[in-house]
Chains A and B, each alone.
Chain A
Amino acid sequence: GDSVTQMEGPVTLSEEAFLTINCTYTATGYPSLFWYVQYPGEGLQLLLKATKADDKGSNKGFEATYRKETTSFHLEKGSVQVSDSAVYFCALRGKTGFQKLVFGTGTRLLVSP
Chain B
Amino acid sequence: EAQVTQNPRYLITVTGKKLTVTCSQNMNHEYMSWYRQDPGLGLRQIYYSMNVEVTDKGDVPEGYKVSRKEKRNFPLILESPSPNQTSLYFCATIGQAGSQYFGPGTRLLVL
Contacts and interface: CB of A to CB of B under 8 A. Distances in A.
Interface of A: 4, 32, 36, 42-46, 49, 89, 93, 98-101, 103-106
20 contacts: A4-B42, A32-B98, A42-B104, A43-B90, A43-B104, A44-B43, A44-B90, A44-B100, A46-B99, A89-B42, A89-B43, A93-B98, A98-B98, A99-B31, A99-B50, A100-B33, A100-B45, A101-B45, A101-B100, A103-B44
A106 B42 contact: yes
Contacts of A98: 31, 94, 98
A94 to B, nearest CB: 12
Contacts of B102: 36, 43-45
Q: Is the interface on chain B under 10, 10 to 19, 20 to 34, or 35 or more residues?
A: 20 to 34
Nearest to A89: B42
B31 A105 contact: no
A100 B43 contact: no
Contacts, number: 46
Nearest to B56: A99
Interface string B68-87: 00000000000000000000
Contacts of A4: 42
A100 B33 CA distance: 8
B43 A103 contact: yes
Contacts of A99: 31, 33, 48, 50, 94
B41 A105 contact: yes
Contacts of A46: 99-100
Contacts of B31: 98-99
Contacts of A93: 98
A45 B90 CA distance: 12
Q: Which of B40, B42, B48, B103 has the most CB of A within 10 A?
A: B42
Nearest to B32: A99
